[in-house]
Amino acid sequence: MTNTLVQEKTMVELTDIVPELKQVEEELHNVLVSESITQELCTSLLKSGGKRLRPLLVLLSGKSCGAKTQDLIAIAVAAELIHMASLVHDDIIDNSHSRRGAETINSSHGNKTAVLTGDYLFANAFRLLAEAKQYKSLSLMVKAISDMCDGEICQANSSFDLSQDESSYIDRIDKKTGKLITACCQAGALAANASMAEIAALSEYGRNLGIAFQIADDILDYTGSDSSLGKPACNDLSQGILTLPILLLLEDEKYGPWLKDHLKNKCLALVSQQQLLKALQETGALKASETKAFQHIQQANRALDRIPANPHRDVLISIAHMALKRKK
């Protein structure tokens, strides 16, 4: 399989290249499906779909370093459970009413039930890793969750803060998104007993991939529709979350003062998505954000040069290339 052929495939088609994902999906159902109300809620999350990016990264990172499939399944399932839990908690924080076209748990059953559902998913992830004796991966995942929480707290405390800069933004999204993706790549490599150089390479790949994916998501917040996003467009800015496109727009001589006034007064209801999109396009803020994401994609793939060439590494390269070509 050539890298060119892999790059032409969609994310869904890529999952066909990694048949182990079917085992992951089956195990997710085994863990979550039953007659209890808690597991019914979790099953509805499972049925709502998702890219399964994190388990895919566990499998590909491990197999690119020679890991046996069975050693990776529990880690891959746990990674997806942790991601699902983080989405449930994110919906509470954001007061979201829908995700991927379905009503959120906090909207249908209240915040208390949603918090406990997220905790239930976390607990099952930890149980799987402990039962599989994947203690190093367990440590990685727990640290990633800690960083994710820290990132969310930093984001909440910096709401409408106009003193933010690109550096603080990158640090925040690395914690919110990059750390778990990095942990998935590291965990796969550890399960393969990879060398320190290979683990470091996959860690660098994961960090840069996570940052690129989050920048791409932040761009989609302004260019996507509610249906494609799975949440209201411009949702971040309405909460005072200043992402890279907005930080770059604030630097513009024409539009910067206009947007600052609205942010200072927290009167964003008067700013339409069309107005923002026009300003972001006219100033080049969207293009500059895309360029930044692409730079991180390049860094991610350069890190993979330190991994011996194999089909699984080729798919990792392709995933990075597709970061800016996808919809949520």
d(CA 172, CA 18): 31
Residue 268 pLDDT class (50, 70, 90 cuts): confident
d(CA 127, CA 137): 12
> Cα–chain-centroid distance for residue 35?
30
Q: What is the model's pLDDT at position 225?
A: 59
Q: What is the model's pLDDT at position 44?
A: 79
Write the pLDDT tens digit of every residue in 69-88.
Answer: 888 999 999 999 999 999 98
Comparison of pLDDT for 102 and 54, the residue scoring more? 54
Tokens of 34: 């039953």
CA dihedral sign of residues 327, 46, 129, 139: positive
pLDDT at residue 154 tops 80: yes
Concatenated DSSP letters of 294-307? HHHHHHHHHHGGGS
The residue behind tokens 């049925």 is: 47
**Cα dist from 75 to 14, 25, 105, 160, 162, whole Å:** 19, 13, 25, 38, 40
Range(s) of the domain holding residue 292 = 3-324
Which of 252, 218, 247 is CA-nearest to residue 235?
Answer: 218
How many domains is the chain partitioned into structurally? 1
Residue 97 CB contacts under 8 Å (≥ 6 apart), including other chains: 103, 104, 107
Residue 65 pLDDT class (50, 70, 90 cuts): very high
Mean pLDDT in the chain?
87
Q: Among the listed ranges 103-112, 148-157, 168-177, 181-190, which one has the minimum average pLDDT value? A: 103-112
Q: What is the model's pLDDT at position 38?
A: 82
Q: What is the model's pLDDT at position 239?
A: 85
Q: Are 324 and 295 in contact (CB under 8 A)?
A: no
Write the pLDDT tens digit of every residue in 171-222.
Answer: 999 999 999 999 999 999 999 999 999 999 999 999 999 999 999 999 998 8
For position 123, which CATH number holds?
1.10.600.10
